[in-house]
């Protein structure tokens, strides 16, 4: 068993113990989600949804991936679409392409995965920090999705119900200022490596 499989196994076991995991997403649901998003999910995130469950487990907990109404913001896809729509765009507001909200931390704060990064950088969006610059609201919760899960499994890190405490203890996302305006070039939407980095 490799480290990736072992991490998935421990995550699935913890989710099962909590007893609240939703059934895994079907292949056609994952395809529909990625089509609507316009980019592939990070491979580890896709595997979590396909093998562990459709949200309601893990740190946060994870949002379900996609609802019957694709624009329902109670789901990860709808939350992303609502933040990147033409109606949401403005001279001050934008959302980075490829950054999928995966957990609602309350007070309009969201944990997100950068699906364009090789390791699936886990970010926290905190709108309360954006007084003079939108990019100040983007913080790094974990360098990788795997590390974020490991921290949760070990009972350490930023996995409390008080999201404001998380925001005090994480670092600024240095890519924020270059990623906040739409970049629709093919390279911007390219998939990360097929083998998840753990």
Q: What is the pLDDT of residues 93-148, one digit of tens each?
A: 789 999 999 999 999 899 999 999 999 999 999 998 887 788 889 999 999 999 99
Cβ-based neighbours of 39, under 8 Å, separated by 6 or more: 97, 98, 115, 116, 189, 191
The CATH number of whichever domain residue 25 belongs to comes to: 3.40.1580.10
Give domain status of residue 55, yes or no: yes
User: How many CB atoms lie under 10 A from the CB of residue 107?
Assistant: 12
Average pLDDT on 165-175 reads 74
Contact present, 97 and 116 (Cβ < 8 Å): yes
Give domain status of residue 54, yes or no: yes
Domain with 167 in it: 3-189
Give domain status of residue 76, yes or no: yes
Residue among 88, 6, 102, 92 nearest 60 (CA): 102
Contact present, 95 and 84 (Cβ < 8 Å): yes
- Confidence check: pLDDT of 80 > 60: yes
The pLDDT score that the predictor gives to residue 198 is 54
The pLDDT score that the predictor gives to residue 139 is 96
Give domain status of residue 196, yes or no: no
H/E segment holding residue 77: helix 76-84
Greatest mean pLDDT among 33-42, 158-167, 168-177 lies in 33-42
Contact present, 33 and 63 (Cβ < 8 Å): no
Q: What is the DSSP string of 11-60?
A: HHHHHHHHT-PPPPPPHHHHHHHHHHHTSPPPHHHHHIIIII-SSS-TTT
Match 């305006």 to its residue by tokens. Answer: 181
Give domain status of residue 73, yes or no: yes
Give domain status of residue 198, yes or no: no
Average pLDDT on 38-54 reads 97
Give domain status of residue 151, yes or no: yes
Tokens (6 digits) for 119: 């390791």
How much is the CA Rg of the chain, to the nearest whole Å?
A: 16
The pLDDT score that the predictor gives to residue 158 is 54
Give domain status of residue 195, yes or no: no
Residue among 71, 145, 81 nearest 113 (CA): 145
The count of structural domains within the chain is 1
């Amino acid at each position: 068993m490799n480290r990736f499989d072992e991490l998935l196994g421990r995550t699935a076991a913890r989710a099962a113990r909590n007893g609240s995991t939703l059934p895994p997403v079907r292949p056609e649901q994952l395809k529909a989600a990625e089509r609507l998003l316009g980019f592939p999910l990070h491979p580890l995130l896709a595997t979590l949804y396909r093998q562990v469950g459709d949200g309601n487990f893990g740190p946060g907990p994870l949002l379900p991936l996609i609802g019957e109404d694709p624009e329902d913001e109670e789901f990860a896809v709808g939350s992303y679409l609502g933040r990147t729509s033409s109606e949401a765009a403005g001279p001050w507001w934008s959302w980075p392409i490829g950054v999928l909200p995966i957990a609602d931390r309350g007070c309009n704060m969201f944990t997100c995965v950068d699906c364009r990064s090789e390791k699936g950088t886990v970010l926290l969006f905190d709108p309360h920090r954006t007084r003079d610059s939108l990019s100040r609201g983007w913080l790094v919760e974990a360098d990788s999705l795997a590390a974020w899960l490991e921290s949760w499994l070990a009972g350490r890190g930023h996995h409390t119900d008080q999201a404001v405490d998380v925001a005090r203890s994480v670092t600024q996302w240095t890519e924020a200022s270059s990623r906040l305006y739409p970049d629709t070039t093919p390279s911007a939407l390219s998939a990360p490596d097929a083998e998840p980095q753990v």
